Amino acid sequence: MNLHSDKEAFKEIIALAADHFGYEQSHVEKDYWVSKILRDISMSEYADKTYFKGGTSLSKAYGLIERFSEDLDLFVFTGDKGASKQAEKTLNKKLSKYIAELNSDIYKEDLSETGGNYRKLYFSYDNVFQGVGLKEHLEVEIKSCDLPDKKLMFYPADKRVIKPIV
């Protein structure tokens, strides 16, 4: 799923998909990047420890709302209720590094505060299409589990197929 490697073909595919589905071209382009990062995670060792949450997940995974992604909200949990806070932070850091490395062509910086359980990665791609009211970059926010008593933790989650527009 590296359609973006051929800029002319990428531009044409985005334009065709936007026309076919009736979306703004800039929205289809951003959806491509969001879907690519989600796909990268789903094919990694982090897939079963990463949870997609927030408004974008309601749109992409459940179709409950119609909106286009401004950012990706993720939650990571080792799966071990006895894991230390440091183990959870380490998982977050490893996932962040993995996403940044796989998308090094658009990765710009880590906006996280050092030592926290929250990471924010900033990605900037060459916008083929300019859009109104849509950030021209992508932020990936990852929060690691920091609950003091994980025995009480319950996060309803299920596996869903995420379908990119292109």
Question: Tens digits of per-residue pLDDT, 90-145?
Answer: 999 999 999 999 999 988 988 876 667 889 999 998 888 776 667 778 999 998 87
CATH number for the domain harbouring residue 87: 3.10.450
For residue 78, the number of C-alpha atoms closer than 13 Å in the C-beta half-sphere is 18
Q: How far apart are CA 142 and CA 112, in angstroms?
A: 10
161 within some domain: no
What's the confidence (pLDDT) of residue 150? Answer: 57
What's the confidence (pLDDT) of residue 163? Answer: 86
47 within some domain: yes
Q: What are phi and psi of 79, to 5 degrees?
A: 90, -5
27 within some domain: yes
- Quote the domain boundaries for residue 70: 3-148
156 within some domain: no
Which tokens sit at 53? 């949450």
Question: Tens digits of per-residue pLDDT, 63-72?
Answer: 776 766 678 9
Number of domains in the chain: 1
